[in-house]
Structure 1
Amino acid sequence: MKEDVVVLTGKTLTIEEVVRVARHNAKVEFHPEAQATCEKSREFVYRLAESNIPVYGFTTGVGANKDKKVEAAYYNEYNVSLVRSHCVAVGPEATLAEVRAMMVIRLNTLLLGNTGMSPAIAVMYRDMLNKEVTPVVPERGSIGEADIACLSHIALTMIGEGQAYYKGEKMAASAALAKAGLEPVMLGPKDGLALVSSNALAAGQGSLVLYDIAKLVELADIIYSFSLEAFKGNVSPLHEEVNRIRPFKGQNESAAHVRALLTGSYLWIPGIADALQDPLSFRCACHIHGAVRDALRYVEDLMKIQLNSSDDNPCVLIEQNAILSCGNFEPVSWAIGFEMLGIALSHLSKAACFRTIKLSSEYFSGLPRFLSPDPDHVIAFGTIQKPFTALDAEIRHLANPVSMDFYAVAGNIEDHANNTPYVVQKTRKIIDNLYYILGIEAMHAAQACDLRQEPEFKLGVAGQVVYRKIREAVPFLAKDRNLTIDIANAYELLKSGVIQQELSHLSGV
């Protein structure tokens, strides 16, 4: 089998490539031109320093210590001290995949040549990724104006200190490097600042979150279509012309997707629906899912810029023969975008919860209360509303914006922040909760399908697959049992991606 390799140019990295490196251990290589640019940048900064022009983080301290001069004889000592002093993050640990995502993103931006760091550092990033040396990185402690408190732990591994994983086994960083056949790096001028000062933690975790949201919204369409069949719902809101005259892109994508999923369904029989109009959680599902799609597209476009642009301060401009202080470490544009995504996902969650409640309501579904197969003796789904509404309450809380909550720090000179890592991390938690909520909705839909007695009842091409996979994980509820086990099984099934894989031949899945 041909080895998967991602070639880094500094300008073309995609979210999908980040996922390949982070989760599937794809190897990385430098494009020759990118490597040459990195080397040229380093030579330029050395020439500048020799001319006695102060260079922030190179010949001076950082933050409030920008007025402190760093003598050439102490370059290594100062940069090692900078790395150690910036290791102030707290747990839990970021996952191995998340750390690998941080590393490949930071490596890609270094190749743009706007950093002026030693090319040996770029080589170290590459070799650690390819030989599966993954630093232990506590994920909390960054306020978002560059993730210095967390990324310093990657730098710590590079100098042979702290802890790291080697091929998944946790050990001292020095031992991990030795097992991989790597030597600790010798930090030179500006290397410490370049290693710790970027948005790579938030961008790494954020890239994986965006990838997962794209998968989640496809799954939400699938579970909704299955619920609509179980509910004996009205398909008129899915009509192509109805959606065409409301040309929001996300709405039309979800509507087209759901129409394809319902191919062959009994719902297309004229007059089959009992109600002229369904509750809004059913009628507006494609509009709600479409809002997530539209928000996702907006943030993906911003993330592509982040992945392929310099967030360094100061910024090396070789063509202009200058190195300038700047604020390019400010990610507030896409931090706000993630806040928007959290709000959109909260709407998706709420609609799923209301659909689930409606499925177990005899007034709306025409089926026994709480989908009991024996209302006199089986309680069935009488209590399960509590956990999924509790999970939705968590999502509602997590969707509250936090990007504007910050202090002025570093001697009052750093008086803006955005909390982007936490913004991303709470969005990640929303996704996890939604797998439970959609899993419980799928359990209800499968039970409703089993209880339907209409002679015309027939699931569409997608519904047949979803029903089969749900029933493999969660049997028909004939008698009351421990539903915690069923909920966990439905969650694992949906999170595995098996359903999407089986439906991959359908348009949009």
Structure 2
Amino acid sequence: MSQIIILDGQNLTIDDIEKVAKFDFKIEIKPDALEKVKKGRQRIFDLVDSDIPVYGFNTGVGWNKDKKVFKDFFNKYNTNLIYSHSLGVEPFCSREEGRAILLTRLNTFLVGCTGVAVEIVEIYKKLLNLDIIPLIPKRGSVGEADITNLSHIGLVLIGEGEVYYNNEIRNSKEVFDEISLEMISLGPKDGLAIVSSNALAAGIGALILKDIERLLDLADVVYCLSLEGLNGNTSPLDIDLYKARNYIGQKISLKNVTNLLKNSSIYNADWKKPVQDPLCFRGSVQVNGAVRDALRYCLELFNIQLNSSEDNPCLLLDENKLLSCSNYESISWVLGFENLGVALSHLSKNSCYRTIKLSNPEFTKLPRFLSPKDNVLGYATIQKVFTSLDTEIRHLSNPATADFYSLAGDIEDHANNTPYVVDKLKKIVDNLYYILGIEAMHAVQAIDLRTDCILGSGSEKAYEKIRERVPFYDEDRPIYKDIRTMYDLVKSEKFIHEILNTN
């Protein structure tokens, strides 16, 4: 029996989006949500003969807002709107990203403020359930609704776009004809309903936020291994310190760390230890916790995006209004994404410094570069790799929301580059999987060289899983293979899940 997500326009989560995007959950729509869409559509038809100008309904869009659209030309105008806005630039979204985008927009249709044809809502659901996923370019949007990209979904609906189907890229009309799926004839407001949304950035952004949740757990795991590899101090892990400070994110990371280090010999008194470790070790719970706080702030705003109207004009059924507005403005939640990029740059720097310290005998009392013998170079050159990736993160974390032009005859004089912000964050996360993977390689090597280390119940599980894939560095070998292996391992949801559920 297929697993199902029921949409109502009010309760979509990033967990739901991941299930549909990555694990092919099917979609159902709550009947009262669909009824709201039908009522909204009827209200649009009631307005067809109105002489009141409404942006994007019976007028043009952008600089062409002063041009009237007559009811006899609604289909032609809305089709032309799709054509003229189909401007996206490669690369294309993956199949998984396309599924997340479709789902995100489908749910905001159900808020009931769009006035879109019920047939369009139904075909979005069918595309997901039949796994016919539009080929959507990633670039070309300035973020005030992803109009230049989502228009490519419109091309698919009228039989002129391309789709992923059965592991092939095919013309949508051919696929529709093959499975007897009707194409869409666009009516009043339909074109704008399809293109005027932040679903491109929001759909991909949801998947990234899920990745960051796992990445933060990974960061706690790798820190524990490194602390044991260093034979570091545990005084910064005293719970009373965090009661005095009272940051929520720090407490979550502390709980992870103390559970992972349970029964570790690192807690044993050792007068040979320095009084304090470097800040990259001493303050890791604080830094990891700060990213957790940034994520929580971002999620609070992002969940509003997923379950609210982003339509212009906005149909307010209860108030009997169709109003020009800026509900597509994403600045509230995209600032949260910018903040996450900066926060993750601190986590990255911390990881890099811990890795450098693990190769330094001044801190570890172990051989230089964690080499097991004099004629083995060990991790002598790898520092160039992870620091170069961190340099990329440093630049990717620079804000991009403030860099925009005034467009469309100076009417559209604000933007925020939301898809680019989301794409930057995705690259930051990907680089961090490499950086944390490389740190974990150093940590387990240091643990092996230490010989007398008794690992915590959770960190031991992590150590074992790493050593199953990457052997002890006893002779020089091409390390790039180990780097890739570690990247694949630490990125695995199974790796983190099994370690954190050890106790």
> TM-score, normalised to structure 2's length?
0.98
2:411 maps to 1:422: no
Within a 5 Å distance, the mapping from 1:426-441 to structure 2 comes to: 426-441=424-439
Provide the rounded CA distance (Å) in 1 between the counterparts of 2:459 and 2:385: 25
Amino acid paired to 1:397: H
Q: What is the percentage of aligned positions where both structures have the same residue?
A: 51
- The one-character-per-residue Cα deviations of 1:390-444 (angstroms, maximum 9, x if unpaired) are 0000000000001000001111100000001100110000000001000100100
Aligned to 2:237: 238
Structure 2 unmatched runs, 5+: none
Provide the rounded CA distance (Å) in 2 between the counterparts of 1:346 and 1:272: 34
Aligned to 1:282: 281
Aligned to 2:390: 392
Instruction: Report deviation, 1:473.
Output: 1.6
Aligned to 1:164: 163
Structure 2 counterpart SS, 1:263: coil
Aligned to 1:383: 381
CA contact (8 A) 1:166 1:180 kept: no
Provide the rounded CA distance (Å) in 1 between the counterparts of 2:261 and 2:179: 52
Aligned to 1:370: 369
Structure 1 counterpart SS, 2:163: strand
Query: Residue 464 of structure 1 is aligned with which of 449, 457, 460?
Result: 460
Provide the rounded CA distance (Å) in 1 between the counterparts of 2:272 and 2:155: 63
Aligned to 1:48: 47
- The one-character-per-residue Cα deviations of 1:127-153 (angstroms, maximum 9, x if unpaired) are 000000100001000000000011001
Provide the rounded CA distance (Å) in 1 between the counterparts of 2:492 and 2:56: 45
Within a 5 Å distance, the mapping from 1:345-360 to structure 2 comes to: 345-360=344-359
Instruction: Report deviation, 1:20.
Output: 0.8
Aligned to 2:450: 452
Provide the rounded CA distance (Å) in 1 between the counterparts of 2:225 and 2:394: 25
Provide the rounded CA distance (Å) in 2 between the counterparts of 1:275 and 1:147: 54
CA contact (8 A) 2:153 2:161 kept: no
Aligned to 2:109: 110
> TM-score, normalised to structure 1's length?
0.97
Provide the rounded CA distance (Å) in 2 between the counterparts of 1:407 and 1:292: 31
2:310 maps to 1:311: yes
2:239 maps to 1:224: no
Amino acid paired to 1:482: P
Provide the rounded CA distance (Å) in 1 between the counterparts of 2:102 and 2:179: 17
Structure 1 unmatched runs, 5+: none
Structure 2 counterpart SS, 1:139: strand
RMSD: 1.1
2:471 maps to 1:475: yes
Provide the rounded CA distance (Å) in 2 between the counterparts of 1:180 and 1:23: 24
2:86 maps to 1:87: yes
Q: Would you say how many aligned residue pairs link Structure 1 and Structure 2? A: 503
Amino acid paired to 2:418: T
Provide the rounded CA distance (Å) in 2 between the counterparts of 1:272 and 1:82: 74
- The one-character-per-residue Cα deviations of 1:240-268 (angstroms, maximum 9, x if unpaired) are 11111110110111011100000111112
Aligned to 1:402: 400
Aligned to 2:16: 17
Provide the rounded CA distance (Å) in 2 between the counterparts of 1:38 and 1:153: 23
2:497 maps to 1:501: yes
Instruction: Report deviation, 1:495.
Output: 1.0
Provide the rounded CA distance (Å) in 2 between the counterparts of 1:318 and 1:447: 64
Amino acid paired to 1:235: T
After superposing the two structures, state which structure 1 stretch, 181-190 or 169-178, moved more: 169-178
Amino acid paired to 2:321: A
Aligned to 2:481: 485
Structure 1 counterpart SS, 2:245: coil
Q: Could you say if the C-alpha distance between residues 290 and 273 of structure 1 is closer, same or farther in structure 2, counting changes exceeding 3 Å?
A: farther
Amino acid paired to 2:451: Q
Provide the rounded CA distance (Å) in 1 between the counterparts of 2:183 and 2:2: 27
Provide the rounded CA distance (Å) in 1 between the counterparts of 2:500 and 2:372: 33
Aligned to 2:441: 443
Structure 2 counterpart SS, 1:107: helix
Aligned to 1:271: 270
After superposing the two structures, state which structure 1 stretch, 97-106 or 277-286, moved more: 97-106
CA contact (8 A) 1:233 1:273 kept: no
CA contact (8 A) 1:371 1:380 kept: yes
2:172 maps to 1:176: no
Instruction: Report deviation, 1:53.
Output: 2.0
- The one-character-per-residue Cα deviations of 1:318-377 (angstroms, maximum 9, x if unpaired) are 1111111111111011111111000000000000000000001000001000000012x1
Amino acid paired to 1:297: R
Q: Could you say if the C-alpha distance between residues 272 and 216 of structure 1 is closer, same or farther in structure 2, counting changes exceeding 3 Å?
A: farther
